[in-house]
């Protein structure tokens, strides 16, 4: 049992911290002392005050806040649930983060949004109304914890897409070897599903889908080039694509690859190309180009 003098000491300390909180309010206009993740506190006192404020809220939630302390904090307008109170404000920051970075994996050390990481952790643990849960889902909120390594590779993938405009990481880009292996592992895990305990969670799939990740890059590459060839045919009336000076980037080289790799194509792929009146024989294609006065060599 706590001694009388021990309780007096605790009450005295509590009153001292309460008075410091009042001084903080006079100076900053608020009773919400922030936890400065990834940043230094303005002073050691501010750090202690932030921890003390956090403790009062925790004690309130678990029913251990003494009544007289509870009443005193309420009398000065202390907010025991700041995250709930400021949901709209912080949710707006969440949307700004998504708009700026193209995803919703907020880093603990985010300099632009220093309070957002803790708010997300809080939201995952708190009961929410159906309306708020729906809004978060629609915004791409991630409900499960995702390892720091996965988040790092995901952000690297977003940066790669922003720089190159796609997700096809060539073996020639040696500096992206680890990222290429990670991306391929994600594709393999999705194909395998739950086998071998390598389940790719729905949250992770949703995140990768949200940035347009290509799960089958070869299929995507074929479809993109085929669509470009169709557009070329519609515009020029033939499929004799020049390697140089073609507004469809890489289409000329792809046409060369088609002729050399016909034996590797599926019957469906060959039928798709045949439907465009494509000339497979290189010599015949050259003669056709001469008739059209297209001066180029393959």
pLDDT tens profile 221-233: 888 888 988 998 8
Taking residues 104-133, what's their average pLDDT? 86
pLDDT band at 148 (very low <50, low <70, confident <90, very high): confident
Per-domain residue ranges for the chain?
Answer: 4-80, 84-138, 148-210, 217-291
How far apart CA 13 and CA 19 sit, in angstroms, is 10
CB neighbours (10 Å) of residue 135?
16
pLDDT at 290: 78
pLDDT at 194: 52
Share of the chain above pLDDT 70, in %: 93
How far apart CA 62 and CA 223 sit, in angstroms, is 57
pLDDT in tens, 238-270: 888 887 767 787 888 888 888 898 888 888 888
Q: How far apart are the first and last CA of the chain?
A: 92
pTM, full prediction: 0.50
DSSP string over 20-66: HHHHHHHHHS-S-PPP-TTS--S-HHHHHHHHHHHHHHHHHHTT-S-
Contacting residues for 256 by C-beta, under 8 A, at least 6 apart: 243, 298
SS3 content of the chain, % helix, strand, coil (to 5): 65, 0, 35
Neighbour-count burial of 186, counting CB atoms closer than 10 A to its CB (0-12 exposed, 13-18 middle, 19+ buried): buried
pLDDT band at 197 (very low <50, low <70, confident <90, very high): very low
pLDDT in tens, 53-102: 999 999 998 999 999 999 999 999 998 877 677 788 889 999 999 998 88
How far apart CA 173 and CA 156 sit, in angstroms, is 14
pLDDT at 114: 85
pLDDT at 40: 67
Residue with tokens 């074929």: 222
Cα torsion at 41, 43, 46, 47 (round to 10°)? Answer: 60
């Amino acid at each position: 049992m706590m001694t009388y003098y021990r309780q007096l000491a605790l009450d005295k300390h509590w009153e001292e911290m309460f008075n410091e909180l009042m001084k903080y309010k006079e100076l900053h206009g608020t009773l919400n002392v922030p936890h400065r993740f990834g940043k230094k506190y303005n002073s050691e006192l501010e750090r202690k005050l932030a921890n003390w404020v956090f403790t009062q809220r925790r004690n309130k939630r678990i029913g251990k806040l003494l009544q007289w302390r509870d009443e005193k904090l309420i009398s000065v307008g202390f907010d025991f649930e700041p995250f709930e109170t400021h949901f709209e404000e912080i949710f707006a920051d969440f949307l700004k983060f998504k708009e700026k970075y193209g995803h919703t994996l907020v880093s603990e050390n985010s300099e632009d949004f220093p309070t957002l990481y803790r708010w997300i952790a809080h939201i995952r643990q708190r009961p929410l109304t159906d309306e708020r849960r729906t809004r978060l889902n629609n915004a791409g909120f991630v409900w499960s914890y995702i390892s720091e390594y996965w988040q790092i590779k995901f952000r690297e993938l977003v940066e790669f897409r922003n720089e190159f405009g796609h997700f096809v990481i060539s073996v020639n880009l040696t500096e992206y070897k680890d990222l290429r292996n990670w991306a391929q592992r994600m594709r393999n895990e999705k194909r395998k599903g739950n086998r071998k305990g390598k389940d790719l969670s729905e949250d992770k799939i949703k995140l990768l889908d949200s940035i347009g990740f290509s799960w089958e890059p070869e299929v995507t590459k074929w479809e993109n080039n085929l669509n470009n060839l169709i557009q070329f045919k519609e515009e020029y009336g033939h499929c004799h694509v020049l390697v140089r000076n073609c507004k469809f980037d890489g289409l000329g080289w792809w046409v060369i690859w088609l002729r050399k790799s016909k034996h590797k194509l599926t019957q469906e792929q060959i039928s798709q190309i045949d439907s465009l009146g494509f000339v497979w024989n290189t010599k015949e294609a050259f003669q056709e180009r001469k008739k059209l006065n297209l001066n180029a060599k393959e």
